[in-house]
Amino acid sequence: MKVQRSVNYPPDRSVSRRRFIYSMGMLFAINACTPFKLLIGNSSGEKDVKKTLFAFMNAVVPGIDDNYRKGISFYYDPEYPFHKYLSVFISDLHLHARKSYGRNRFDQLNLHQKQELIRNRSRDLIIGNLYSGAIWFTQVIIFTGMAHPEGKSDILNFEGPYTRQNYSYDNPEEFLGNNLTENGNLI
């Protein structure tokens, strides 16, 4: 038995190819503007970028001191892929500090606000991978001692590489076995 409906059901949802391409183009244009705004919106000087990166490092691993400022150079290192996205990352930090807390720069936020902003941005579908990578990268350079000038990690109580100059005991005879003669008797 066929049921007749007075209304066209289901509604006609067909989309022409032209309309689909136009819609996708508009969607791409709208989404493409955000990274472009981020790129041109970064008017921070080099000193401000370093200040922001250190604030980010301190938010990810609270309690680091000025000895860890060497770690900022790893963000610029061309051997690591993060340097390509540094300007977008810094701009996004400043943009969302402004949107969320009314501050112009990320480093002006208190520790709780910084951590909350990082947590929220790492959950974002578009830029979340960048934040997750930056968090991981920061933890690696701090916990392995790469960021400390002496190669140590105060947070983990890791003293760094072995730096003792004398590589033997003061009286090694105490730890060596007794000398033997040719026939195997003790001297």
**What pLDDT score was predicted for residue 40?**
47
Distances (CA, A) of 183 to 152, 176, 187: 52, 20, 11
Mean pLDDT across the chain:
79
Q: Which of 36-45, 67-76, 103-112 has the largest mean confidence?
A: 103-112
Evaluate whether 187 touches 181 at the Cβ level (below 8 Å): yes
pLDDT at 144 over 90: no
**What pLDDT score was predicted for residue 54?**
93
**What pLDDT score was predicted for residue 31?**
58
Single pTM value for the model: 0.64
Q: Which of 21-25, 28-32, 105-109 has the lowest mean pLDDT?
A: 28-32
Instruction: Taking residues 106-117, report their average pLDDT.
Output: 94
Q: Which positions ≥6 away from 124 have C-beta within 8 Å?
A: 131
Q: Percentage of the chain surpassing pLDDT 90?
A: 27
Nearest-angstrom CA–CA distance, 49 and 90: 7
